[in-house]
Structure 1
Amino acid sequence: MTENLECPYCHLEETDRDPLGGWIHRDEHWLVGQGPADTTMPGALKITSRRHFIDFAEMTAAESASFGPLLTRLDTAMRAGTDAERVHLVSTRDRVQHFHAWLYPRPASHLLRGTAFLNAPQRSDPADAERTARAIRDHLRR
C-alpha cells in the first residue's frame, strides 16, 4: 500500500483517535467516519482512501469500482439514520492532499439548499454525532 509518512490521513487507524461513534465502514480501500463535532453536523461522513493518492484520476480500477457502490450504500444508510432529504458530496482535497470526500446530510427542514447549505457553519453535540454515527452504521450493516 502506498503511503506518505508526512500525511496524517495515511495513518488514521494507527492513532488512538477513532472518529466519533467509531468507524462506520472499513474495507481494503476506504475508511468512513463521522466528522468532528466542532465542524460538522451529526451524520456528516468523511470517506478517506487507505492508499495515498490525491485525485479521482489516480484511483486504481478496484478503488474506482468500489467507490460508486460505497456512495450508494452510504447515501441509503444516511437517509435512514438521519432525516436527510439530500446527501451532498464534496471533495476538494486542497487542505489535506490525500483523497477524501465528505457526505453532508441535508434535512428537508433546513432552510438552506445547495452551496448555501454547504457554506453555512456546522457544529454538533458530540453525543448527537456519536448516536447518529451508530444509527448510520446499523443501517449500513442491514
Structure 2
Amino acid sequence: MTCPYCDLAEPDQVGWVHADEHWLVNQGPAATTMAGGLRVTSRRHFTDFAEMTSAEAATFGILLHRLDAALRAVTDAERVHLVSTRDRVPHFHAWLYPRPAAHPLRGTAFLDAPQSGDPAAALRTARAVRDRLGAEGVVDIGRGAG
C-alpha cells in the first residue's frame, strides 16, 4: 500500500503555506476545513512523535510557534488547537484549527463540530498566513516551496 502523504503534490491555488526540509504546510480542503485550518505534514515517512529525528522535533516546535502566531494575527483567533491522531493516514501530520473568541464552542466540542468553509476565505487566509511567515524573514527551502 502506498502512502498518500509521501508524495504530496503542490496544493492548488495558494501552494504551500510553508515548506522546508522537514515539513509541508497547506490549507485543508474548504469542504471539510474552516479557513485557517492548516495541515502540517512531515516530508519523511514516520508515524509517531517518538520517531522524529532530533532536527524534526526541534523544527516542529519552532514551526508550530510561528504558525500559531501567524494564525492568531490573520484570523483573530483566541486559541489555535493542535490535533494529530494519525489513525486514518499513518504518516505524521497534525492539524491546526484557529478558534475565534466569539465561537460558542470550546475545546473538544469545537473540534468535534462539523467544519466547512468558504473556498475564497480559505484561500485568502492561507495566503495571509504565508505572507505573514514570509514577512518574518524566514526563507522556505525544499521541494514545493511556494
Superposed counterparts of 1:33-112, under 5 Å:
33-112=26-105
Q: Helix, strand or coil for the counterpart of 2:6?
A: helix
Distance in 1 of aligned mates of 2:133 and 2:73: 9
What one-letter code is carried by the residue in structure 2 that aligns with 1:11?
D
1:23 is the counterpart of 2:19: no
Paired residues of 1:20 and 1:34 also in contact (CA < 8 A):
no
Alpha-carbon deviation of 1:21?
A: 2.3
- What is the aligned partner in structure 1 of residue 141 from structure 2? none
**Once superposed, what is the RMSD of the aligned Cα atoms?**
1.1
- What is the aligned partner in structure 1 of residue 5 from structure 2? 9
TM-score, normalised to structure 2, is: 0.89
Where does the alignment leave 5 or more consecutive residues of structure 2 unmatched? 136-146
Paired residues of 1:47 and 1:101 also in contact (CA < 8 A):
yes
TM-score, normalised to structure 1, is: 0.92
Structure 1 stretches of 4+ with a deviation exceeding 4 A read: none
Where does the alignment leave 5 or more consecutive residues of structure 1 unmatched? none
Structure number with greater CO (CA < 8 Å, separation at least 6) is 2
- Select the residue among 132, 141, 145 that pairs with 1:139: 132
What one-letter code is carried by the residue in structure 1 that aligns with 2:8?
L
What one-letter code is carried by the residue in structure 2 that aligns with 1:21?
V
Residue by residue, what CA displacement relative to the aligned partner does 1:30-82 show, whole Å, maximum 9, x if unpaired?
A: 00000000110000000000000000000011101111000000000001111
Q: Which has the higher helix share?
A: 1
